[in-house]
Chains A and B, each alone.
Chain A
């Protein structure tokens, strides 16, 4: 039962990453990120209950409140303020992008086969999913032009790392996790401020225009 829930949630996270690739409306992409974080929260709660590890409840609470609600709310506010709602044509069209992501998932799963099964017997599924998400995040990063989409790609990578941390190692020491949460929030705030400044200056958040510095 526990394992089914874990695999279902991990799959949910991967699916939301795929949907993000196929998505041009920025609001929807942010909601997908929010859903992805909620799935991560469920993974943490499931493991917390099944192994009675109480510090994972804290992780779950922080994941849901910060990544599920606070960060998406902040990003939506940024978009509302600057009034840009859609991703322009990406460097690569959607069908081709999805096809590449399927390839990346295969790579992720292939790499994960060398891992030990671990106590729960699902470690290698979780690592496979996480590595796939990491690669999809990287892919989003290089093919999209909008600053907000790049932030979402970074956050997807970060969720992938947390899926490994929670699902495979049952969580890092609590102090370390708190520190990481704090840093991530700070990074998103600073990225938000930079997006504001970029839009003020260039009247666009198309980061492909940031190309003066070469050589």
Chain B
């Protein structure tokens, strides 16, 4: 079998073995081992692409170009981090006897399954397979959201599934309409839905049908990416999902959904010119950044804070692509990369704080966590600095690249609004983090004594993630940079 197929088979096998049962050590080893191997295979597949052969399988239904390779590597990376943190996460809960056999099966089965579905998204060249894969990510994550089985997790899961299915209904209609726009041009059989086939016949697609299809598909996949105003499921889902699953949603799923959005944008661009879907992306992206701002200022929950931050970041990426300049596209893809490296640190440290206090609500965590959980608090401050785009970290550079592209181009008003929102966001985030981490500790008699912070697998994973996030600001490995450039070429390149 070829390398690409193995990249997908390994996480699927990991999910099957992990979901079936067995002793704890065995399951932990299976999950971490399986997902390490998966990450290795992702890198090997990307390496194959960089050496000049396009990895493909099943008659080009799966095909890895620059964009796919970048998203694939980032998903594999986050999958590995999430599994390593997840082992520690579950151990902590086991120690407090909070884990039922059902939870174990769901955890060890669904996390690799979720990774599998995300990897499938990132290598789909067929719009039908792409839709099926996105639906699979949705279905795999529902029971991760209900993991803790609280009233609120049922609410979050219901909203997530209903809104997600509705979004996917739109995306499916979009796909069908794109297919209808190419009647008589696309040919017969499976290859008629290939993205590459669409790009070949793009100038001959029926414009009205295509326009409607693009709008439906962008709204549909935009719902999964969490672009405003279709973002409302995100804060609820992030609050309820255990942190290892949360990070998969915030990075893997976000990248995957953005990947779908970009594929649709590219078909539209090749056929209708850059303005139509570009302006739509710019509007949705700007709206996301603007909507996230007030909610970050008034936030009452640590993980919801991260959710709004992720709405902001997907907005930034959409703005970068929507600006219609090569530098903007490059900035957006650089942003995706840096965001994928930085977000895990935020999730892992926030997850640890939440776990120690048995809640992620600010009211329960209280002030001055630094005196109680120094490692997690320090990491959280670092993560907050990185994800709000402070210099000298990576997201600062990518945001500057996008802003520069914006001011040089024709969207000066939009870019100015965007810049203003980013500044307010930074202040809001700094306020919230300062309140939780620094602040005076509350009256010791009044405070619920949290669990002591211990050094374990999860802490180690969070530290490794933090080191990577800091190092990446100063040094991006050459192959990764080559992937970002290749992806830029796919998104910007001549049709």
A187 touches B165 (CB 8 A): yes
- Which size class do A's interface residues fall under? 35 or more
Kindly identify, within residues 338 to 382 of chain B, every residue whose CB is under 8 Å from any CB belonging to chain A: none
B317-330 vs A, CB cutoff 8 Å, 1 = contact: the mask equals: 00000000000000
Partner-binding segment picked from B123-131, B222-230, B278-286, B428-436:
B123-131
- Which size class do B's interface residues fall under? 35 or more
B129 touches A154 (CB 8 A): no
Of the candidates A160, A201, A212, the one whose C-beta lies within 8 Å of that of B173 is A160
B146 touches A212 (CB 8 A): no
Is A95 close to B, CB under 8 A? no
Given contacts A116-B206, A179-B128, A180-B131, contact A207 B179 (CB under 8 A): no
Of the candidates B132, B162, B176, B208, the one whose C-beta lies within 8 Å of that of A179 is B132
Partner-binding segment picked from B12-20, B153-161, B389-397, B482-490:
B153-161
Residues of A with C-beta under 8 A to B151:
201-202, 212
Residues of A with C-beta under 8 A to B208:
114-116
Partner-binding segment picked from A14-22, A66-74, A79-87, A164-172:
A164-172
Most buried by A among B131, B135, B172, B299: B172
Partner-binding segment picked from B28-36, B188-196, B454-462:
B188-196
- Nearest CB of chain A from residue B395's CB, rounded to whole Å: 25
A169 touches B161 (CB 8 A): no
B212 touches A111 (CB 8 A): yes
Is B298 close to A, CB under 8 A? yes
Is B142 close to A, CB under 8 A? yes
Residues of B with C-beta under 8 A to A161:
169, 172-173, 176
Query: Which residue on A lies nearest to B171, using beta carbons?
Result: A161
B166 touches A176 (CB 8 A): no
- Give bound CA distance, A147 to B157, whole Å: 13
Residues of B with C-beta under 8 A to A187:
135, 138-139, 161, 165
Of the candidates B128, B142, B154, B189, the one whose C-beta lies within 8 Å of that of A198 is B154
A197 touches B128 (CB 8 A): no
- Nearest CB of chain B from residue A169's CB, rounded to whole Å: 5
Residues of B with C-beta under 8 A to A173:
128, 189-190, 192-193
Query: Which residue on A lies nearest to B237, using beta carbons?
Result: A213
B154 touches A194 (CB 8 A): yes
Given contacts A169-B180, A169-B183, A187-B161, contact A210 B139 (CB under 8 A): no
A190 touches B239 (CB 8 A): no
Kindly identify, within residues 109 to 142 of chain A, every residue whose CB is under 8 Å from any CB belonging to chain B: 111, 114-116, 118, 134, 137-138, 141
B239 touches A213 (CB 8 A): yes
Residues of A with C-beta under 8 A to B299:
215
A137-168 vs B, CB cutoff 8 Å, 1 = contact: the mask equals: 11001000001001000100110110011001
A176 touches B298 (CB 8 A): no
Is B399 close to A, CB under 8 A? no
Is A183 close to B, CB under 8 A? yes
- Give bound CA distance, A30 to B165, whole Å: 19
- Nearest CB of chain A from residue B146's CB, rounded to whole Å: 7
- Nearest CB of chain A from residue B409's CB, rounded to whole Å: 31
B128 touches A190 (CB 8 A): no
B193 touches A176 (CB 8 A): yes
Is A100 close to B, CB under 8 A? no
Of the candidates B126, B159, B176, the one whose C-beta lies within 8 Å of that of A169 is B176
- Nearest CB of chain A from residue B431's CB, rounded to whole Å: 16
- Nearest CB of chain B from residue A165's CB, rounded to whole Å: 5
- Give bound CA distance, A141 to B209, whole Å: 26
B139 touches A198 (CB 8 A): no
Residues of B with C-beta under 8 A to A114:
208, 212
Is B265 close to A, CB under 8 A? no
A186 touches B139 (CB 8 A): yes
Residues of B with C-beta under 8 A to A96:
none
- Give bound CA distance, A179 to B58, whole Å: 15
Of the candidates B154, B157, B166, the one whose C-beta lies within 8 Å of that of A154 is B166
- Give bound CA distance, A179 to B168, whole Å: 14
Of the candidates B138, B173, B189, B206, the one whose C-beta lies within 8 Å of that of A134 is B173
Given contacts A116-B209, A183-B136, contact A164 B128 (CB under 8 A): no
Of the candidates A147, A165, A175, A179, the one whose C-beta lies within 8 Å of that of B158 is A147
Of the candidates B138, B146, B193, B212, the one whose C-beta lies within 8 Å of that of A197 is B146
A141 touches B155 (CB 8 A): no
Residues of B with C-beta under 8 A to A157:
166, 169
Residues of A with C-beta under 8 A to B193:
172-173, 176
B57-87 vs A, CB cutoff 8 Å, 1 = contact: the mask equals: 0000000000000000000000000000000
- Nearest CB of chain B from residue A130's CB, rounded to whole Å: 8
Of the candidates B128, B142, B192, B300, the one whose C-beta lies within 8 Å of that of A194 is B142
B161 touches A118 (CB 8 A): no
- Give bound CA distance, A65 to B373, whole Å: 57
Residues of A with C-beta under 8 A to B132:
176, 179-180, 182-183
B170-208 vs A, CB cutoff 8 Å, 1 = contact: the mask equals: 001100110110010000011011000000000000101
Query: Which residue on B lies nearest to A150, using beta carbons?
Result: B162
Residues of B with C-beta under 8 A to A42:
none
Is A191 close to B, CB under 8 A? yes
Residues of B with C-beta under 8 A to A179:
128-129, 132
- Nearest CB of chain A from residue B214's CB, rounded to whole Å: 14
Kindly identify, within residues 294 to 339 of chain B, every residue whose CB is under 8 Å from any CB belonging to chain A: 295, 298-300, 304
A contact residues vs B (CB 8 Å cutoff): 111, 114-116, 118, 134, 137-138, 141, 147, 150, 154, 157-158, 160-161, 164-165, 168-169, 172-173, 175-176, 179-180, 182-183, 186-187, 190-191, 194, 197-198, 201-202, 207, 210-213, 215
B contact residues vs A (CB 8 Å cutoff): 126, 128-129, 131-132, 135-136, 138-139, 142-143, 146, 151-152, 154-159, 161-162, 165-166, 169, 172-173, 176-177, 179-180, 183, 189-190, 192-193, 206, 208-209, 212, 235-236, 239, 295, 298-300, 304
Given A172-B179, A210-B154, 16 other A-B contacts at CB below 8 A? A114-B208, A154-B162, A154-B165, A154-B166, A158-B172, A161-B176, A164-B173, A164-B176, A169-B176, A176-B129, A179-B128, A190-B142, A194-B142, A194-B158, A194-B161, A215-B298
Could you give 18 example pairs across A and B, Cβ below 8 Å? Answer: A114-B208, A115-B209, A116-B206, A161-B173, A164-B177, A168-B180, A176-B131, A179-B128, A180-B135, A183-B139, A198-B154, A198-B158, A210-B154, A210-B158, A212-B151, A215-B295, A215-B299, A215-B300
